[in-house]
Amino acid sequence: MAETKLYLPDPELAAGAHCSSLQQYKAMHERSLKHPEQFWGEIAKEFYWETHTTEDKFFSYNFDINEGDIFIKWMDGASTNLSFNLLDKNVKNGKGDQIAFYWEGNDPDDYSRLTYRKLLEETCRFANVLKSKGVQKGDRVAVYMPMILELPIVLLACTRIGAVHSVVFAGYSADSLAERILDSKAKLLVTADGVWRGEKLLLLKNICDDALARVKSHGHEVECCVVVAHLRRLISPHGKANSGTGRATNGTSNGKSNGADSAPASVAPHVDMDDDRDVWWHDEMEEAEPSCYPVWMSAEDPLFILYTSGSTGKPKGVLHTTAGYLIYAATTFKYVFDYHPGDVYWCTADIGWITGHTYVVYGPLANGATSVLFEGTPFYPTNDRYWSVIDRYKVNQFYTAPTAIRSLMKFGDELVKKYDLSTLKVLGSVGEPINPEAWLWFYNVVGHGKCSISDTFWQTETGGHVITPLPGATPMKPGSATFPFFGVQAELLDEEGHLIEGEGEGFLVFRRPWPGMMRTLYGNHERFQSTYFERFRGFYCTGDGARRDKDGYLWVTGRIDDMLNVSGHLMSTAEVESVLTEHPSVAEAAVVSKPHPVKGQCLYCFVTPNQGKNFDKKLQDELKVKVREKIGPFAQPDVIQHAPGLPKTRSGKIMRRVLRKIAVGDRNVGDVSTLADEGVVELLFSLRPQNI
């Protein structure tokens, strides 16, 4: 059962916070709903606008599909440039020599840093490279990169010239990358030769070569692929970074990079370069000018596309635009982490996910913050890596995922206590509901009982936090994301779409747009409308369930559609099923989630072999490998169970709730009278593997 005890913000933290009491939060929240033009208009004044909007055009929208097309517009008439606000403005305000990013490599001996001035210069250089390759405003640039300093540079360079970046997490397979490049019709791709993740070497350029061949066979051609020689500089035989390849990474040049004695490889793998298509980052950057006039973008011009799983299996290209995203990323970052000048902030998320977009790149830089950019994993070289990084950089705000917390808890408190974590003030959690046990460990052991925990609920689609505590203001309940952020009006609806007032549980929906929400699905406005606005007229439907307790706290309970959340990575049952059924021995497959102590949920697959085909260990292993290869390692199923038949209704629909019960071995399957063949339930229980 959920903890009911309230945890109050530390009084010292509250005293200096941007929002320092529940009362103040409530007043600000109310104002943000009653007078959005004034509320966001004041925040917008902190940024540079080349042209301005007017109050009557500040925002407009339609959330009701019966009234016509869904649309959302903020600050119509205004124009600006993201990179200008994040870089030039900070440099002009005297932050040129301040560190924007401390880079910490997979190997603790590889580290570097980048000041705001240097970041601006490198961004301009790469913007000029993009221009020289024919990239123009509105063109899409695909990005498949590790967590290195060139990655934020690429994103910012795109915004400099109005190109739309589409980052694909560099753990996705060649197939997934190809599918996303095809959907966005990207003109150019940026990648790296490879990266070490823990003790694993990923050869990213090879994966890109595969993906680009596939893209070509589907009739689209990526004209240019820019490759960062990352591995090469890590394992340079001279024992330090090769300055030709590492200009950006060397930043202010007091970082060292002596991978020669520490990196787990001795030779740089060969990289195939296609002379007509591929170029090295360092060659291009050497030639490029370090200044580039920004392209002024209209408020609703596209900023980026980021793909997220869709329940039909085909990924959805979530599109975010310029002005609203900027002010929302900036405001959530400032309030949710209570960031103050001089603080060091660290978000462990990969930039390949929305958390990395908004809270590694855009939010922190919009606030002139200093962040840590971390390439590695929590377990390499040892299981105390996170704590050592916090200690090393004197981190004040630390933002991570419940799955990481749960996996680190297992190693005990001593590993944490070895380090000085006293600089921490705010801890953040994102990706899935955090169970109270993990919350309490995070609070007591990592946060020494004094830090506030921001359990931030949000989605790729929402652009930024939508339900979250504010560190100096909100009394916390372990496992509750608490209250809506400014501008957000959260409601619970029952099956029929009736509002649930007061205590109760239902579908979590939003009644109106906030500045940072998505505007459409790239190239598919129909799907945007039907996915998010069809089920409940007049509301944006999150796809999550939530409960409101007697104090009005919101507890997000998880997905209520056919989506699975494994270690914070969303995927759909359909996409995993389609990979399984591609195997020649498989007739049919159904995938459900099963609770998992570390991952939150894991994949449990029921597989019906074709007639005459054996269901054996070999098939199980092949299927696991296939899912890894087709989707990515994070999607590997935990269990593949033999299913001679599946529980289907007479109309042929698979009854997943029954499969979920079988997965956990719970015989309380409920009413199964609508099944075409009830006997299949018993059969599946009898075939359930015992060793899980």
Q: Which residue is nearest to ligand WTA (CB)?
A: 460
Structure tokens at 97: 């020599």
What is the amino acid identity at position 472? G
Considering only CA atoms, give the Rg of the chain. 25
Q: Is 322 in the site for ligand WTA (CB under 6 A)?
A: no
Shortest spacing between CB 215 and ligand WTA, in angstroms: 24
Size of the site for ligand WTA (CB under 6 A): 23
Q: Is 575 in the site for ligand WTA (CB under 6 A)?
A: no
- Chain-centre distance for alpha carbon 155: 15
What is the amino acid identity at position 198? G
Q: Is 87 in the site for ligand WTA (CB under 6 A)?
A: no
Shortest spacing between CB 467 and ligand WTA, in angstroms: 8
> In angstroms, rounded to a whole number, what is the distance separating the alpha carbons of residues 203 and 206?
6
Stretch that binds ligand WTA, among 100-108, 258-266, 347-355, 469-477 (CB under 6 A): 347-355
Helix, strand, or coil (residue 384): coil
Q: Is 593 in the site for ligand WTA (CB under 6 A)?
A: no
Stretch that binds ligand WTA, among 64-72, 179-187, 193-201, 537-545 (CB under 6 A): 537-545
Q: Is 615 in the site for ligand WTA (CB under 6 A)?
A: no
Q: Is 455 in the site for ligand WTA (CB under 6 A)?
A: yes
Stretch that binds ligand WTA, among 89-97, 220-228, 324-332, 552-560 (CB under 6 A): 552-560
| 404 Cβ contact list (under 8 Å, min separation 6) | 348, 378, 386
Q: From the list 44, 120, 570, 684, which residue makes contact with ligand WTA (rule: CB under 6 A)?
A: 570
Cα angle 636, 637, 643 (rounded to 5 degrees) comes to 150
Q: From the list 83, 191, 322, 355, which residue makes contact with ligand WTA (rule: CB under 6 A)?
A: 355
Burial label for 461, CB within 10 Å (0-12, 13-18, 19+), is buried
Q: Is 308 in the site for ligand WTA (CB under 6 A)?
A: yes
Q: Is 547 in the site for ligand WTA (CB under 6 A)?
A: no
Structure tokens at 32: 């943000």
Helix, strand, or coil (residue 556): strand
Q: Are 87 and 116 in contact (CB under 8 A)?
A: yes
Stretch that binds ligand WTA, among 283-291, 350-358, 634-642, 661-669 (CB under 6 A): 350-358
Q: Are 96 and 84 in contact (CB under 8 A)?
A: no
Q: Is 139 in the site for ligand WTA (CB under 6 A)?
A: no
Residues 371-430 close enough to bind ligand WTA by CB under 6 A: 430
Q: From the list 332, 456, 531, 601, which residue makes contact with ligand WTA (rule: CB under 6 A)?
A: 456
Nearer CB in complex with ligand WTA: 361/684: 361
Residue 677: other Cβ atoms inside 10 A: 13
DSSP state letter for 35:
-
Residues 422-451 close enough to bind ligand WTA by CB under 6 A: 430-433
Q: Is 320 in the site for ligand WTA (CB under 6 A)?
A: no
Stretch that binds ligand WTA, among 175-183, 520-528, 551-559, 678-686 (CB under 6 A): 551-559
Q: Is 492 in the site for ligand WTA (CB under 6 A)?
A: no
Calculate helix-pair angle for 656-664, 679-687, nearest 10 degrees: 30
Paired strand residues for 60: 73
Give how far Cα 248 sits from Cα of 113, 252, 285, Å: 9, 9, 9
Structure tokens at 43: 């925040």
Q: From the list 49, 458, 514, 604, which residue makes contact with ligand WTA (rule: CB under 6 A)?
A: 458
Stretch that binds ligand WTA, among 134-142, 385-393, 454-462, 669-677 (CB under 6 A): 454-462
Structure tokens at 94: 């005297």
Shortest spacing between CB 477 and ligand WTA, in angstroms: 13
> In angstroms, rounded to a whole number, what is the distance separating the alpha carbons of residues 613 and 257?
53
Paired strand residues for 306: 318
Shortest spacing between CB 16 and ligand WTA, in angstroms: 25
Residues that bind ligand WTA (CB under 6 A): 308, 353-355, 430-433, 455-460, 481, 542-544, 556, 558-559, 565, 570
